[in-house]
Amino acid sequence: MTIYCPTCNRSSDECRFIGSFCEFCAASKLKMDVPDFAKISQCRFCERLKIKGEYVDMDMDSLGRALKYALNIPDRKVDIDKYANGMAYIHVHKETESADAGVAMRIRVRVIHATCRRCFRMSAGYYQGVVQLRGNRMKIERVKEQMKRYLEKREEFISKEEKQTNGIDLYVSSKQAANSFFMDFKMKPEKSFRLYGMRRGMKVYRNTYSLHL
């Protein structure tokens, strides 16, 4: 059965149809209000992208999401075909339809460099506690890696490592994250608290965790 495009009256014998519109009108509808220029924000240190106030790892998927927000087209999806020299070759399609029903576009991208909170605190050598790992070298290495991953998932970090004769000291950015790490991994370090200073009229303590492995 021949159908006709309600916008331009082309028939389905002449060209491909996407839904009830001809492919040309479907494409121009998808391109509607899509600017050819977008600004995205990226951390200069870890290169993560800022999307809706949150930093996420940079890959084609997150870049697509960042562009979608930057272009302000919540009803459409953006897939990246290629990203090079400040140009994004994208595919815009409806959220509900597959990418091959979409339209290809070229967008100029300007990257605004920022510093995420994690990198800012890291560069300032920020820490709330010291984890002293002592004992078996291999076990120490393993716990250190576990801890690193655990902290990174929670936007926290190890700001400094200090080798000691029988182990290592790790300066960790969050007491709370360190506490939950030891809970989750069922480790029971010895804890001590040292008064570090005052902040907004409250005493601030830095924790020391001693763990023998």
Binding site for Zn ion (CB under 5 A): 5, 7-8, 10, 22, 25, 43, 45-46, 116, 119
Residue 166: CB minimum distance to Zn ion, A: 33
Give the residue with the Cβ less far from Zn ion, 56 or 73: 56
Give the residue with the Cβ less far from Zn ion, 57 or 184: 57
Give the residue with the Cβ less far from Zn ion, 10 or 134: 10
Cα angle 42-48-52, degrees, rounded to a multiple of 5: 70
Residue 6: CB minimum distance to Zn ion, A: 8
Residue 191: CB minimum distance to Zn ion, A: 30
Residue 55: CB minimum distance to Zn ion, A: 6
Give the residue with the Cβ less far from Zn ion, 14 or 184: 14
